[in-house]
Chains A and B, each alone.
Chain A
């Protein structure tokens, strides 16, 4: 799957770190040599690294046939069973996104409450910390006992794993409003709700996007881990990996891993695009400071 992997190199080095990604290289197509060379300078190192990884993989696989499948075998798995991988990927994606949505929204709502009412903060924070330090892998079996083998335990595990980073980032963001803007709002006797909607939440947006960038990969981890523990529904890439490895189908295991990586990349690119669109003002403001 060279296209996805190449895409992986770009966001890996740029979108995740918050530097403007690929489109910088895109204008290279309009004929002038300057942008073209710059585009090549961005893409070429990533391409070389990719080829190196491919070669090393091939060499390792040739000498360890029972530990690592050859790239070609992995590729043929994907090429011959696209329906299988697509449907399992969809299952995992839905679990991850549902969990992400629920965990993220719950965290933001709670962060708003905590920022407004001190008692809520004092009550919730210790619980949230306990939830954060509890290994989610240990929680998953309990969820399966409670909620069965369907989608519910997976969504719950995913939302738990996403919840804490989202909460902390949202809180930080809500507290990052310019105190002088808050003074202006106070002299206007703006209500709490007005201050929240017009100042605090928009100020928190950069932090919320930072949280989203952390939580997206976590949500895929959550979904896969839950599938490992509760494979009963016999769907999802995690389940596929468990089954394939117990049947010694290493090529299928690696094909599923590549699907998961591609899914992570695609989700990260979506967030990066949303962020570029919604936070144009933030980039301006940052470069101004």
Chain B
């Protein structure tokens, strides 16, 4: 059940993100708690994979490991066939954190330009990876997420949903082929969430990137993903790997279909089974 996907036997250059036997614990001595236990996961390049699970199941830890913000205690992680740190050096990773994390003194447009301005050498190296990920015009990406009118505004002048769309545009525009999104819409209300999600879907369908998307929301996971990875807590491990077969491109109407509800139910049942096993 764990991580056995159709991509399992692929050649190494076809790996988007791969984790083999990854474990991570926090704390020392008696207080040491395992956050992730023996995780195997392969994500094909250009696919959209969501990780869902209860709080404390280590899904954010998983994402931070892939982003190179944490190092695993054991196991190996590869991002486009390099280490996470090398991937950061080559600017292959676009991170969308939980809060928009914009620079309040910069305009919306200048916030999206930030990744272009730092580590310029990394940008040149990333083109050597010959993967999907040409740089896009920041203003065009902002227009695509519905912020064409807000280019010169400061983040504080925008609503929470608009700020989060700026964060998505920032991760998208500079050409990283891998996107890591850590519950990016969790602070938004349901309706805003839905509209931001559709914007993200449109953008992703236009520019395929390998996406690892951490979320609490079943609907969000099903609507966006090719696969949904379900995790259980303490220690975090993968308990189900569900392929979402809904055809693309997906629009807002998909979320009303029978197929969508079936997939949602499947994910929900897997989540419940995780709770039952834990209890």
Contact = CB atoms under 8 A, between A and B. Distances in A.
Interface of A: 178, 180-181, 183-191, 194-195, 198-199, 202, 281-282, 284-285, 287-288
Nearest to B160: A288
Given A178-B99, A284-B157, A190 B118 contact: yes
B117 A183 contact: no
A118 B157 CA distance: 37
Contacts of B170: 184
Contacts of A285: 104, 155-156
Given A187-B68, A281-B156, A178 B115 contact: no
A185 B97 contact: no
A204 B95 CA distance: 24
Residue from A194, A195, A281, A282 with most neighbouring chain B CB atoms (10 Å): A281
A190 B117 CA distance: 9
Contacts of A195: 118
Contacts of A187: 67-69, 88, 93-95, 180
Q: Interface size for chain B: under 10, 10 to 19, 20 to 34, or 35 or more residues?
A: 20 to 34
Contacts of A199: 103
Interface of B: 64, 67-69, 85, 88-89, 91, 93-95, 97-99, 101-105, 114-115, 117-119, 122, 154-157, 170, 180
Contacts of B115: 184, 188
A180 B122 contact: no
Contacts of B91: 188-189
B119 A194 contact: yes
A209 to B, nearest CB: 13
**Candidate in A181, A189, A191, A284 with the most chain B CB atoms within 10 angstroms:** A189
30 contacts: A178-B101, A180-B98, A180-B99, A183-B67, A183-B69, A183-B95, A184-B101, A184-B170, A186-B67, A187-B93, A187-B180, A188-B88, A188-B93, A189-B85, A189-B119, A189-B122, A190-B119, A191-B118, A194-B117, A194-B118, A198-B103, A198-B114, A198-B118, A199-B103, A281-B104, A282-B105, A284-B156, A285-B104, A285-B156, A287-B156
A190 B105 CA distance: 19
Given A186-B88, A188-B122, A180 B101 contact: yes
Contacts of A198: 103, 114, 117-118
Nearest to B94: A187
Contacts of B99: 178, 180
B60 to A, nearest CB: 11
Contacts of A189: 85, 88-89, 91, 119, 122
A284 B88 contact: no
A282 B67 CA distance: 30
B105 A188 contact: no
Given A189-B91, A281-B156, A181 B103 contact: yes
Given A188-B91, A189-B89, A202 B156 contact: no
Contacts of B154: 281, 284
A198 B95 CA distance: 17
Given A187-B67, A199-B103, 11 more contacts: A178-B101, A180-B97, A180-B99, A181-B103, A183-B95, A184-B95, A187-B93, A189-B119, A191-B118, A198-B118, A284-B157
A80 B155 CA distance: 55
A282 B101 CA distance: 15
B156 A185 contact: no
